[in-house]
Amino acid sequence: MKNTTKPKKARSQSVDKTSKPRKAVRKRKTPLAFWSRKNLLLLVLEGLGLAISALLGSMLTLGSSANSFSGSSFFADLLPFAAGIALWVIIAAGLLVGWLKCRSWLWNKSHMLPAVFALSLSLGMIWFVSHDGYTQVFTHFRSLVGGKQQAARTTLAHQVYAAYRRYDQPQLQNMIQRAEIFDSDIQQAAKVFAVDVNLLHGIAAAESSFIPRTSHDGGQGLFQITAVPKFILQQATQALAIAKLDLANPRHNAFVAAATLKHYLAEMNDDLFLGLLAYNIGPRNGGLSFIMQQYGASDFVSMQPYLQTLPRDYPIRVLSYALAFKLWQQDGKLLAYQEGDNAIRIQRLGIPGMAALF
């Protein structure tokens, strides 16, 4: 009897000893190594999401503050603005502390949750600030950071929008339709000389309204080419792979215009308004560079008052026509600037050659 019962006890004890460790192993969680690829990827995504949210939140706050407290009064404007910035720093620090506490709880639930929540927050911020109602907020932020230069840029941009608004829409549409037969040549010229094709359209519209002719002042063809430096004519000749230029040929005319525009933009350090003004003035009176040195002007805004006998509105007209071509290419129609939300939409689209206000 004893021999038969003892083995049974031994079997039961051995079964009990082996069952306990198995249950303990199932409850353990393998920690995620810090230097593992998965953990580093999650950290990068989390950091990216938080950085985007912080940047957009700061821009939104500063832009709103700049709009609400714009002015030069110390107590009514400057002091409240500074107090608002200090308050935002405190709030941002509190949000960071709250995130760190929340992150521990999310990490314990799932290693992926912190990255998922951070990216979701950034996507929500992107959607929030990209709404049309917040375009002006970012315009105020750019004015705050850009200072005098951005203020001048915004003023000139609105001159372009105002010029576009004053155009007769049916006449403008007819001119755009006249331009279709020259479109291929203008696009090729823009591509060869790496200039904005809409700018070339705008120049042709301002110069000839897409009715090529020889003017009494010597202007020839589609772009009314007059006095052009010889090296620019050589560049156009080489690009066309021809022996001799014929300015009555719209294709030749467009290549010369594109080469001229590229030259004057480079001469004016890619300042769009000065480049277009230099294009129109050409080498007359020593060229725009000499005229600016003579009057001590450094930009288009400071140069405008001295242009009583010169085309002070030429860049505005060119860019307003270029804007019309850009709208036509984008939507297949011309939008009335003053109707509905068209003004904001056009500003978001931007003037050719210039960054959008948003």
Stretch 308-323: mean pLDDT: 85
pLDDT in tens, 278-295: 998 888 778 888 888 888
Stretch 81-89: mean pLDDT: 86
Hey, which of 58-67, 78-87, 155-164 has the most confident mean pLDDT?
A: 155-164
pLDDT of residue 217: 79
Res. 1 pLDDT band, cuts 50 70 90: very low
pLDDT of residue 10: 47
pLDDT of residue 177: 94
pLDDT in tens, 216-271: 878 899 999 988 889 999 999 999 999 999 999 999 999 999 999 999 999 998 98
Residue 30 has pLDDT above 60, yes or no: no
Q: Give burial (CB, 10 Å; 0-12/13-18/19+) of 59.
A: buried
* pLDDT-above-90 percentage for the chain: 43
Output the pTM of the full model: 0.68
pLDDT in tens, 319-333: 999 999 999 998 889
Stretch 24-29: mean pLDDT: 49
Higher pLDDT, 119 or 68: 119
- In whole angstroms, give the CA distance from residue 188 to residue 352: 17
pLDDT of residue 15: 47
CA 202, 205, 211 angle in degrees (round to 5)?
A: 150
Stretch 48-66: mean pLDDT: 87
Q: Give burial (CB, 10 Å; 0-12/13-18/19+) of 101.
A: exposed
Higher pLDDT, 74 or 228: 228
pLDDT in tens, 183-220: 999 999 999 999 999 999 999 999 999 999 988 878 89
Task: Return the number of other C-beta atoms located less than 10 Å from residue 116's C-beta.
Answer: 15
Please check whether residue 60 is in contact with residue 137, taking contact to mean a CB–CB distance below 8 angstroms.
yes
pLDDT of residue 50: 92
pLDDT of residue 131: 72
Res. 306 pLDDT band, cuts 50 70 90: confident
Higher pLDDT, 145 or 327: 327
- In whole angstroms, give the CA distance from residue 285 to residue 95: 61
Higher pLDDT, 139 or 289: 289
Output 30-37 pairs: Cβ under 8 A, ≥24 positions apart.
32/111
- In whole angstroms, give the CA distance from residue 146 to residue 238: 41
Length of the chain: 358
Res. 309 pLDDT band, cuts 50 70 90: low
User: Which of 13-17, 158-162, 266-270, 289-293 is the least confident region?
Assistant: 13-17
Structure tokens at 203: 């120049």
Residue 97 has pLDDT above 80, yes or no: yes
